[in-house]
């Protein structure tokens, strides 16, 4: 074993789809579907097709590889391997290599998309549940990594849930363009099938539960693969964003979130106390690899005339690895979110440690409502905040030194204004709206 995907990364269900054995079987199914379509047109009998099918499904990848090593052509090696076990003069009739390759790939993509749909749905709904569970857990919001207005953990989970749900919608919309096969011959004109080309192609795709490409050369236009890789990169980016924020919020000086740590789990080979966010780190690292496949796939779309072979070698890597790794990190992040821990004491501690400074906007808003120019109100609060930083005092203490403030507010009124719970705007209602929408997305699907 050489590649980490072989022994470290990827789920069994997704790796099974993209294994070499699966690829060979799927290409054989395409060849059999072509024979069935030809039989329907009277080229051969269904009995002949069944004889080929029964024998061809026994072909081992090793035998195809042996022939390929000799003749240096993968699809012709497959055709010869089928011919060895089942004599039939109609095998591969009218087809070109990428009729078989691209159509078989479409079945891999179709089955992969089904897995992505289920897993994206699962993660989005888990995030929606967390959004409701922690809707009213007020926490410190941060922008630029610095204290900002209060928000809630439910709001954070709702933001993530909405983003994951949008990926589900994108995937649904993309399927019509992505899940297409072809049976159109060497340059796409179906010359080998003559005027029966449309009917033969349509029948092959019907048998394989695919749509025929609108038009193709020797290969299906690669813009559909680019869109798929872009989708995986976009999904991976969202997953990394969530994982990154979990890592930030797990840092000891923050300590608000915590990945589930198993009873016998080891955090460090030398520091026994460590509880590292390794799953979230894994998501972040592999998301970068998924995104890295976007450019090679775009380059693989730029082919000479009806096609050259520069896409072939790259696509053996891009489609397979991006799919397996995206599924891997989606599965892993779902595990993290399912078992995530929130330290409510630390959440409150971090909020109160700001001594009201992060509520400066709330006072500015109320001061403006009292008739003070908004820019003047901003400067009053800015100066008071800077003094609070310098004196290590609270915002309330510094505001009580301001005549303009005392003219409009009592100490008790100021205390109410700078309570985090009183400055959440529409946060709670927004969580409810988002969760309702997310659940509707999957209910209607």
d(CA 52, CA 387): 85
Asked if residues 36 and 93 have their Cβ atoms less than 8 Å apart, the reply is no
d(CA 30, CA 28): 5
- Residue 411 corresponds to which tokens in the numbers above? 């100490």
DSSP assignment of 54-114 equals: HHHTT--HHHHHHHHHHH--HHHHHHHHHHHHS--TTTTTT--HHHHHHHHHHHHHHHHHH
Asked if residues 233 and 293 have their Cβ atoms less than 8 Å apart, the reply is yes
Cα of first residue to Cα of last residue in the chain, in angstroms, is 40
Q: Which of 3, 45, 268, 313 is catalytic?
A: 268
Cβ-Cβ contacts under 8 Å for 69 (sequence gap 6 or more): none
Q: How far is CA 289 from the centre of its chain?
A: 13
d(CA 15, CA 224): 22
Residue 443 annotated in active site? no
Max Cα separation, the chain? 99
d(CA 337, CA 176): 31
Asked if residues 418 and 359 have their Cβ atoms less than 8 Å apart, the reply is yes
Between helix 153-178 and helix 223-250 the angle, nearest 10°, is 170
Q: Which of 144, 269, 273, 443 is catalytic?
A: 144
Residue 92 annotated in active site? no
Active-site residue list: 144, 268
């Amino acid at each position: 074993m050489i590649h980490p995907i072989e022994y470290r990364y990827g789920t069994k269900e997704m790796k099974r789809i993209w294994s070499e054995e699966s690829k060979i079987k799927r290409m054989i199914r395409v060849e059999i579907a072509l024979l069935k379509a030809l039989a329907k047109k009277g080229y051969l009998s269904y009995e002949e097709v069944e004889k080929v099918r029964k024998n061809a499904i026994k072909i081992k990848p090793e035998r195809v590889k042996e022939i390929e090593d000799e003749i240096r052509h993968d699809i012709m090696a497959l055709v010869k391997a089928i011919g060895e076990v089942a004599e039939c003069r109609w095998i591969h009739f009218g087809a070109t290599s990428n009729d078989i390759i691209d159509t078989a790939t479409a079945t891999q993509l179709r089955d992969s998309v089904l897995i992505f749909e289920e897993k994206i749905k699962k993660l989005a709904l888990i995030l929606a549940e967390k959004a409701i569970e922690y809707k009213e857990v007020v926490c410190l919001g941060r922008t630029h990594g610095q204290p900002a207005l209060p928000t809630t953990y439910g709001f954070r989970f709702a933001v993530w849930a909405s983003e994951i749900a949008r990926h589900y919608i994108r995937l649904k919309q993309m399927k019509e363009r992505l899940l297409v096969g072809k049976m159109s011959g060497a340059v796409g004109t179906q010359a080998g099938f003559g005027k029966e080309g449309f009917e033969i192609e349509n029948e092959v795709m019907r048998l394989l539960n695919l749509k025929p490409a609108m038009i193709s050369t020797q290969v299906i236009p690669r813009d559909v693969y680019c869109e798929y890789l872009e989708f995986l990169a976009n999904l991976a980016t969202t997953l990394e964003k969530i994982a990154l924020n979990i890592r930030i919020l797990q840092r000891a000086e923050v300590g608000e979130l915590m990945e589930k740590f198993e009873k016998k789990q080891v955090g460090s080979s030398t520091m026994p106390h460590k509880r590292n966010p390794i799953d979230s780190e894994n998501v972040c690292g592999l998301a970068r690899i998924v995104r890295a496949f976007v450019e090679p796939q775009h380059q693989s779309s730029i082919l000479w005339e009806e096609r050259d072979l520069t896409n072939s070698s790259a696509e053996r890597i891009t489609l397979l690895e991006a799919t397996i790794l995206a599924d891997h990190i989606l599965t892993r992040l779902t595990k993290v979110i399912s078992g995530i821990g929130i330290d409510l004491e630390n959440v409150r501690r971090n909020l109160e440690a700001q001594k009201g400074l992060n509520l400066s906007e709330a006072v500015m808003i109320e001061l403006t409502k009292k008739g003070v120019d908004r820019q003047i109100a901003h400067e009053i609060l800015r100066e008071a905040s800077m003094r609070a930083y310098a004196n290590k005092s609270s915002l309330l203490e510094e505001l009580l030194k301001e005549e303009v403030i005392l003219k409009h507010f009592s100490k008790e009124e100021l205390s109410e204004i700078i309570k985090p719970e009183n400055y959440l705007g529409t946060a709670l209602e927004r969580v409810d709206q988002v969760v309702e929408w997310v659940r509707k997305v999957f209910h209607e699907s």
